[in-house]
Amino acid sequence: MSKLLAFLGAILMAHAAISVGQFRGIMKERGDADASIPLDIIIECLVGMVLASFGYIIGLNPYEDISSDSSLSSKPIEALLYRPGFYARVSRRWGYFDEE
With 80 as the cut, is the pLDDT of residue 77 above it? no
Domain interval for residue 6: 2-60
Find which of 14-18, 54-58, 91-95 is predicted with most confidence, using mean pLDDT: 14-18
Cβ pair 7, 55 in contact under 8 A: yes
For the chain, what is the radius of gyration of the CA atoms?
27
Tell me if 77 is assigned to some domain.
Answer: no
Mean pLDDT within 72-86: 60
Mean pLDDT within 36-59: 94
The pLDDT of residue 57 is: 92
Tell me if 45 is assigned to some domain.
Answer: yes
Structural domain count of the chain: 1
Query: How far is 82 from 25, CA to CA, in rounded Å?
Result: 65
Q: How many other C-beta atoms are found inside a 10 Å radius of the C-beta of residue 88?
A: 7
Tell me if 41 is assigned to some domain.
Answer: yes
Tell the burial category of 95 from Cβ atoms under 10 Å away from its Cβ (0-12, 13-18, 19+). Answer: exposed
Asked whether the whole model's pTM tops 0.85, one would answer no
- The percentage of residues in the chain with a pLDDT greater than 70, rounded to a whole number, is 64
The pLDDT of residue 94 is: 56
